[in-house]
Amino acid sequence: MAIHRHLGALFNPDTVAVIGASDNPGKLGFHVMKSLTQGGFTGRIVPMNPGAKKIMGIPSVPSIDGFQDPIDLAIVAVPAPLVPGIFEACEKKSVKGIVLISAGFKEIDDPSGAQQQSILERIVRRATIPVIGPNTFGVVNVHRNLNASFTPEFSRLKKGNIALVSQSGGICHLFAFMAMSQNVGMSEIVGLGNRLNVGFPEMITHLMEDPETEVLALYLEGLEDPRDLMETARAFRGRKPIVAYKTGRTRNRDQASISHTGSAAGDHELYEASFRQGRIFGVDSMEALLDAARAFSVCSLPKGPRIAILSGQAGPGISAHDTCEMGGLEIARFQPQTQRAINELLPPIALRTNPVDLGPAWYNSAAIRGILKTVMEDDHVDGILLLMMFASANREALENISSLLLEWKQRKPIITCLISPPGIWDGQVRELEMAGAMINLDTPERAAKCMTYLWQYKKMVN
């Protein structure tokens, strides 16, 4: 049976064993126990350590051999030489999944590391046990409150519909902490590490079937054969958006990648071609990986490239205009009735054609609402950028358009850059984002780039 069929128990376990659990903060097993016990996991936690009767107040057992009940997930945090014996015990016990945090395998210079990994591969191939790792930070299932990692702070993540699969544990931390700071919800985080028998193809298959995940974000350094990834993604025919950031463009890329996860970075052009064939949307930075995933998780796709820019100040509108055109979007020409309505609501001193300068309407929130509504209903507009920097005169503007944004429900994509000092618009913006009425970015350029991502993805999947 394919390994991905066994991943359900790994990410949704009832009983989790921590092999190498510890009360010593200097041990990884301490931090894994802290993550599980403080993360709200409601299943059974079984610490395993031959030298302790209790760990963090939970009765401990010496080893898997001495535990009578079934184990769904074993988290292994012991020195590399001990791991083969533990894997054999997991096979005998019919453990359903393993997270192997331990390092010291294919990623090290010493040939013994690769030899040890080969031993593990033979065991798990025979036992058909899915293994995340080795050399991983762990995994997180946010909706299940399962923090099977050495970082307790992952439990602070908001529940959402974006999953991250990464070859780098550091990138998992970076992405998750960026998501926290921007109030972005996530479903799962997976650090693949050396990919003993679970890699990107297996995780894509698992996440395509996961009801809590709507968008997949991937971080890649190097694969032995990117065609497996492409063929798996293509088999799902764009059922859920996949966004990928592939590093390793520089001359020294291979050695850096091998020393990190034991894989060569390979030809970047080959990956780009594979992405296109697999309908994987490629980006070129961590910021873009998060922004594109956010846009795909909330916004509808535009029917065409015609964008309206409504800006509370002229400057942000101009910068967004440039970004849109560089990304292949068009600045929409309003229908005559739309232009007449805008002309009636704004004085002649304003820029009333697209991009629209809403500045003269600061004291008239009803006018801002009226302009937004008429632009929403214009058949010549495929998407809307709403940009507004706080000034004391426009304090009420967001409150007066919130109901309109909620009613609209992304019938056309709406992306905003609504920026204020802390404590003024923050709560309203958060409520609108949680309701799926918009996503809010912190610069006009980022907002405009997100709109280009939507249009580029629309063209790719059609």
**Whether the predicted pLDDT of 1 surpasses 70:** no
What's the start-to-end Cα distance of the chain, in Å?
33
Q: Higher-confidence residue: 391 or 284? A: 284
- Range of weakest confidence among 46-55, 150-159, 184-193, 226-235: 226-235
Across 17-26, 334-343, 392-401, least confident range: 392-401
Which ranges of 409-443 would DSSP assign to H, the alpha helix? 426-434
Q: What is the pLDDT of residues 21-48, one digit of tens each?
A: 999 999 999 999 999 999 999 999 999 9
Paired strand residues for 141: 146, 188
Strands (DSSP E) found in 90-181: 97-100, 131-132, 138-141, 146-149, 159-166
Task: Please state at what angle helix 226-235 crosses helix 268-277, rounded to 10 degrees.
Answer: 10
Q: What is the pLDDT of residue 271?
A: 83
The per-residue pLDDT for range 61-75, each reduced to its tens digit, is: 999 998 999 999 999
Query: Domain 3-296, what architecture?
Result: 3-Layer(aba) Sandwich (3.40)
Q: Is residue 253 over pLDDT 70?
A: no
pLDDT for residue 264 is more than 70: no
Which ranges in the chain are annotated with CATH 3.40.50.261?
Answer: 3-296, 300-461
Average pLDDT, the chain: 91
Q: What is the DSSP letter of 172?
A: H
Longest distance between any two alpha carbons in the chain, whole Å: 83
pLDDT tens digit sequence for 172-231: 999 999 999 999 999 999 999 999 999 999 999 999 999 999 999 999 998 888 888 999
Q: Which residue has the higher pLDDT, 394 or 169?
A: 169
pLDDT (0 to 100) of residue 252 = 52
Q: Please, how many CA atoms are within 13 Å of residue 177, restricted to the half-sphere of its CB?
A: 9
Dihedral (Cα; 291, 292, 297, 303), 10-degree rounding: 130
The C-alpha atoms of residue 58 and residue 11 are separated, in whole angstroms, by 22
The residue to which tokens 């479903």 are assigned: 187
Long-range contacts, 399-402 (Cβ 8 Å, 24+): 399/365, 399/428, 400/365, 400/366, 400/368, 400/369, 401/365, 401/368, 401/369, 401/372, 402/428, 402/431, 402/432, 402/437
Q: Quick: pLDDT tens for 428-446.
A: 999 999 999 999 999 999 9
| Nearest residue to 71 (alpha-carbon basis) of 134, 13, 146, 129 | 13
- On the question of pLDDT at 363 being above 90, the answer is no
Does pLDDT of 109 surpass 70? yes
Q: Report phi then psi at 285, rounded to 5.
A: -165, 165
pLDDT at 258 over 60: no
Give me the phi and psi of 133, to 5 degrees please: 115, -165
pTM: 0.92
| The CATH homologous superfamily of the domain defined by 300-461 | Succinyl-CoA synthetase domains (3.40.50.261)
